[in-house]
Structure 1
């Protein structure tokens, strides 16, 4: 009798545990985007939210939470219930929070579970048409011959463009070029086109627009391979600057402590969305290379590598956010 009781208990307990674990999702999912509505991060986030909503019994609702860079929106997810119903859609900005904001109300690593790396977008290096440099080799030689005499622009201190440019300058031999930050690429690009700035890096879609019109000269691209939309633009490595690969990337996070089965379900839903032809077609127009095979483990490794790379660049360049 005692043996039969134990066997019965062994059968009942898993079933009871399954009943205790609520199904996911059992309410609408909030996808927090710590960037402004209508911007280059918000647009893909909404596309993913729409596609994932088609797969699930509940909708994914995008919520833009801006403030203090990405801190306000990111904190909202860190403090949310660990049930998979509040997610973070963020970028390279997440990997530089710790060195740029030393007194954060959360830990960017310990308080988050990377779920899926959705895609990466490279950057194109533009120079003004009057600059006497038509290749990366010529540009490096020019800056090396006249240290501190030229200026480059960025979309803001500590942003992807600023960091990618500092990485390039370091890998090219610690070149000295003065940094002029702007409130977004659109604000600074006129100074490049007029010749006030020697160079300006921009996300590939924006950079291609200026280069294709002949407004500026494209010197190189920050990806490991040439971009299919611009096969004539060499990579930085092809131009003689190795280990300067950089991207702005898009990743989904859950609060740390979210049950593993829920994390896997979220991962599967976003990977399936990334594999949809309509999603790939629309995001390819934004020069995003989609990844539909990312796991929580590969996303975690990617984030760790990005944090290590950018923390070193921020420290070396002395980058500080006011």
Structure 2
């Protein structure tokens, strides 16, 4: 072997050495996950968001081989639960069941919000839920046009539900009122169940809400009437319900999204494994069917796609909040 051949061989060995070390290190590193994962839900137990998170957690547990435990941390307009994840170790064992409120509206609403969107690493979309308008049977309207005409003839006389200033229902209601010229009064309810009761009894005349299994069930039972879906297409959960655009009201398209986010700085291989687990769970027919039964539409995504959705919704709701001049303090 000549000295030139020896030099070339040593050079090739030196190039290969780092890869050999990396391969040995990867083989020795523990696989993820090796213990239970906590999925923090910033909403009370029992609602559609909580139910969806628990269905997903069951599917992810099966794919990951470790329990995914749902922990409800409601309060402070989702800030309590969101901060619990911000402050958690960046190891993939504490995740946020992220939502429109936490990552797209709160940053525009609250001047003293203790976290930033950049504190999170998007993992995957889980589900989307279009906004709808439901009305009381005490209102003599069969469709959106008849309801708008009825409400315009009674400025300030109709009531609608909200969960408080700046909440998703409140912002969507503001979009509807501005677009239709309706004037109505908000009444605050703590949860979907009391708001639905108020709608069915005529205490409130209409309800801007994110579609849910409970709403669809009450609609099908003839206790309330859903008259419009704020999406580009009809909801798979209720294909009989017409959209706003189908009834001549364009520009009223909005939905809520739900996904999984980890603390920013979580290792990329861990994020990738979690994303695959969400996709695998959503691909399970029983998981998809159970989520769809809540009224939500099950849908996984890449991390990049969820980041894009967060950005798009931030621009949409940020514009609404800016036009309304809403600035809140926690």
- TM-score by shorter chain over 0.5: yes
Q: For residue 43 of structure 2, give the secondary structure of its aligned residue in structure 1.
A: coil
Change (3 A) 1:229 1:44: closer
**2:57 aligned with 1:52:** no
| 8 A contact 2:121–2:262 mirrored in 1 | yes
Deviation of 1:232 after TM superposition, in Å, equals: 2.8
| 8 A contact 2:161–2:204 mirrored in 1 | yes
Count matched residues: 319
Deviation of 1:276 after TM superposition, in Å, equals: 0.4
Per the alignment, residue 84 of structure 1 pairs with: 92
Q: For residue 218 of structure 1, give the secondary structure of its aligned residue in structure 2.
A: strand
| 8 A contact 2:125–2:258 mirrored in 1 | yes
Q: For residue 238 of structure 1, give the secondary structure of its aligned residue in structure 2.
A: helix
Structure 1 or 2, whichever has the larger Rg, is: 2
Per the alignment, residue 3 of structure 2 pairs with: none
Per the alignment, residue 39 of structure 2 pairs with: 31
**2:98 aligned with 1:106:** no
Give the helix-richer structure, 1 or 2.
Answer: 2
Per the alignment, residue 199 of structure 2 pairs with: 192
Deviation of 1:228 after TM superposition, in Å, equals: 4.0
Per the alignment, residue 12 of structure 1 pairs with: 17
* Structure 1: segments with no counterpart, 5+ residues: none
- For 1:318 and 1:145, locate their aligned partners in 2 and report how far apart those are by CA, in whole Å: 27
| Superimposed CA distance per residue, residues 176-223 of structure 1 (whole angstroms, 9 cap, x where no aligned partner) | 322222111222333323333221133332222222222222211223
| 8 A contact 2:237–2:292 mirrored in 1 | no
Q: For residue 245 of structure 2, give the secondary structure of its aligned residue in structure 1.
A: coil
- For 2:85 and 2:12, locate their aligned partners in 1 and report how far apart those are by CA, in whole Å: 42
Per the alignment, residue 270 of structure 1 pairs with: 278
Match of 1:241 among 249, 254, 271: 249
Deviation of 1:98 after TM superposition, in Å, equals: 1.0
Change (3 A) 1:186 1:57: closer
| 8 A contact 2:237–2:297 mirrored in 1 | no
Q: Could you state the TM-score of these two structures normalised by the residue count of structure 1?
A: 0.89
Deviation of 1:2 after TM superposition, in Å, equals: 5.4
| Superimposed CA distance per residue, residues 93-149 of structure 1 (whole angstroms, 9 cap, x where no aligned partner) | 122111222212221x21111111111122331112232332211222333444333
Q: For residue 247 of structure 2, give the secondary structure of its aligned residue in structure 1.
A: coil
- For 2:212 and 2:188, locate their aligned partners in 1 and report how far apart those are by CA, in whole Å: 19
Q: For residue 41 of structure 1, give the secondary structure of its aligned residue in structure 2.
A: helix
* Structure 2: segments with no counterpart, 5+ residues: 1-5
**2:311 aligned with 1:304:** yes
| 8 A contact 1:124–1:208 mirrored in 2 | no
**2:99 aligned with 1:123:** no
Q: Which is further off, 193-202 or 235-244?
A: 193-202
Deviation of 1:303 after TM superposition, in Å, equals: 0.7
- For 1:140 and 1:256, locate their aligned partners in 2 and report how far apart those are by CA, in whole Å: 45
- For 1:67 and 1:104, locate their aligned partners in 2 and report how far apart those are by CA, in whole Å: 14
| 8 A contact 2:109–2:328 mirrored in 1 | yes
Deviation of 1:273 after TM superposition, in Å, equals: 0.5
**2:183 aligned with 1:176:** yes
Deviation of 1:240 after TM superposition, in Å, equals: 1.6
